[in-house]
A = this chain, B = another copy of it.
Amino acid sequence: MTFFDVLDILGTTAFAISGALSAMNRKLDLFGIFIIAFVTAIGGGTMRDVLVGNTPVSWMQNTTNIYLIGSITILSIMFRDKLDYLKKSLFLFDTIGLGIFTIIGVETGINAGLQPIISIALGAMTGCFGGVIRDILCNEIPVIFRKEIYATASIAGGICFMVLYSFMINPEYIYIITTLLIILIRLVVVRYKVSLPIFTLKKSR
Interface residues in chain A, defined as those with a beta carbon under 8 Å from any beta carbon in chain B: 21, 24-33, 35, 38, 46, 50-53, 55-57, 59-60, 62-63, 66-67, 77, 80-81, 83-87, 109, 112, 114-115, 117-118, 121-122, 124, 128, 132, 136-139, 141-142, 144-145, 149, 151-152, 155, 195-202, 204-205
Q: Please determine whether B51 and A196 come into contact, CB atoms closer than 8 angstroms.
A: no
Q: Please determine whether B144 and A29 come into contact, CB atoms closer than 8 angstroms.
A: no
Q: Which has the most chain B C-beta neighbours within 10 Å: A67, A81, A118?
A: A118
A118 to B70, CA, bound (A): 12
Q: Pick from B114, B118, B199: contact of A80, CB below 8 A.
A: B199
Report chain B residues within 8 Å CB of A198. Answer: 27-29
Q: Please determine whether A145 and B52 come into contact, CB atoms closer than 8 angstroms.
A: no
Q: Please determine whether A115 and B62 come into contact, CB atoms closer than 8 angstroms.
A: yes
Q: Please determine whether A87 and B25 come into contact, CB atoms closer than 8 angstroms.
A: no
Known: A124-B35, A137-B142, A196-B30. A80 touches B201 (CB 8 A): yes
Of chain B, the residue at the smallest CB distance from A109 is B60
Report chain B residues within 8 Å CB of A32. Answer: 144-145, 151-152, 196
